[in-house]
């Protein structure tokens, strides 16, 4: 049951999308705040066309490109905007540069989850309970490249699973990616905000004055919520 970071050609039993900065943090926040569902789109026009059928009271449209809000959308991708007053009972239609695409790529897995530091414990709890045979943890990165914060979050999940199942070092042997991710998390676990400040996308967001978002996204285990796919592209909170 060792989590794997690199997708093989098979569809896994469980696939977990990670985009700490900020898409999966935002999704967890919306569902924890009482949002009805989160529906993801890689394409902005498709988002507009599908959400058109929903009443203005029921829908919220979030669009982010390059870290900034897309003009004409209700929201960008800041989790801090997703207050209970705003999101309660509403569906968030969201398209972001990388995070929503990662989710779409893994949507054929039997179980599809969204994870970030904020809901790490809920994701780990699910893995311990269901014990899926194969797990992919898919970091969203930035336009295809490696992401420090997503790898650290994958490490945070793997670290906790390994600890709670008393997995020995030998049992992890051969899985270079998981060992690296756990090592990265172990080094930074008490300093995640600093790690986000070092990360390339963290620096991009700081240039856009999103310091408060970084602080929020660096918190571990603060939301007891598990965003899980109900139909392709639609995530709801697991009851």
* Closest CB 50 distance from ligand MLT, rounded Å: 18
| Residue (127 or 214) nearer to ligand MLT, CB | 214
Residue range at the interface with ligand MLT (CB under 6 A); choices 14-22, 47-55, 127-135, 183-191 = 14-22
Q: Is residue 150 involved in binding ligand MLT (CB under 6 A)? A: no
Q: In Å, what is the CA distance from 46 to each residue of 1, 40, 168? A: 37, 10, 46
Q: How far is the CB of 167 from ligand MLT (least distance, A)?
A: 30
The answer to the question of residue 23 lying near ligand MLT (CB under 6 A) is yes
Q: Which is nearer to ligand MLT, 18 or 161 (CB)?
A: 18
Q: Is residue 12 within the footprint of ligand MLT (CB under 6 A)? A: no
Q: How far is the CB of 112 from ligand MLT (least distance, A)?
A: 16
Full 3-state SS string of the chain: CCCECCCCCCCCCEEEEECCCCHHHHHHHHHHCCCCEEEECCCHHHHHHHHCCCCCCCEEEEEEECCEECCCCCECCCHHHCCHHHHCCCEEEEECCCHHHHHHHCCCCCEEEEECHHHHHHHHHHHHHHCCCCEEEEECCECCECCHHHHHHHHHHHHHHHHHCCCCHHHHCCCHHHHHHHHHHHHHCCCHHHHHHHCHHHHHHHHCCCHHHHHHHCCCCCCCCCEEEEECCEEEECC
Segment 60 to 99, residues that bind ligand MLT, using CB under 6 A: 64, 67, 77, 96-99
Verify binding: residue 29, ligand MLT, rule CB under 6 A. Answer: no
What is the rounded end-to-end Cα distance, in angstroms, of the chain?
Answer: 24
Which of 14, 17, 22, 216 contacts ligand MLT by CB under 6 A? Answer: 22
Q: Nearer Cβ to ligand MLT, position 205 or 225? A: 205
Closest CB 192 distance from ligand MLT, rounded Å: 16
Size of the site for ligand MLT (CB under 6 A): 13
Q: Which is nearer to ligand MLT, 10 or 207 (CB)?
A: 207
Strand 227-231 versus strand 234-237 pairing type: antiparallel
- Min dist CB 201 to ligand MLT, Å, is 6
- Of 162 and 214, the one with the shorter C-beta distance to ligand MLT is 214
Residues of this chain that interact with ligand MLT (CB under 6 A) are: 19, 21-23, 64, 67, 77, 96-99, 140, 205
């Amino acid at each position: 049951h060792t989590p794997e970071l690199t997708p093989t050609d098979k569809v896994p039993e469980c696939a977990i999308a990670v985009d700490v900065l900020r898409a999966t943090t935002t999704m967890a926040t919306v569902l924890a705040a009482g949002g009805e569902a989160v529906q993801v789109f890689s394409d902005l026009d498709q988002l507009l066309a599908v959400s058109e059928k929903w009443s203005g009271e029921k829908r919220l449209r979030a669009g982010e490109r390059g870290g900034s809000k897309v003009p004409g959308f209700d929201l960008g991708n800041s989790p801090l905007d997703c207050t209970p007053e705003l999101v309660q009972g509403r569906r968030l239609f969201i398209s972001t540069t990388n995070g929503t695409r990662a989710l779409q790529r893994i949507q054929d897995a039997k179980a599809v989850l969204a994870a970030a530091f904020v809901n790490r414990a809920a994701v780990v709890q699910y893995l311990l309970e269901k014990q899926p045979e194969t797990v992919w943890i898919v970091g969203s990165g930035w336009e295809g490249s490696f992401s420090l914060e997503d790898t650290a979050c994958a490490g945070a999940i793997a670290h906790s699973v390994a600890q709670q199942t008393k997995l020995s070092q030998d049992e992890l042997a051969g899985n270079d990616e998981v060992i690296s991710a756990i090592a990265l998390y172990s080094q930074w676990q008490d300093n995640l905000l600093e790690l986000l400040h070092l990360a390339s996308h963290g620096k991009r967001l700081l240039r856009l004055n999103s310091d408060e978002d970084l602080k929020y996204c660096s918190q571990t285990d603060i939301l007891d919520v598990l965003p899980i796919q109900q139909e392709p592209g639609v995530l709801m909170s697991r009851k």
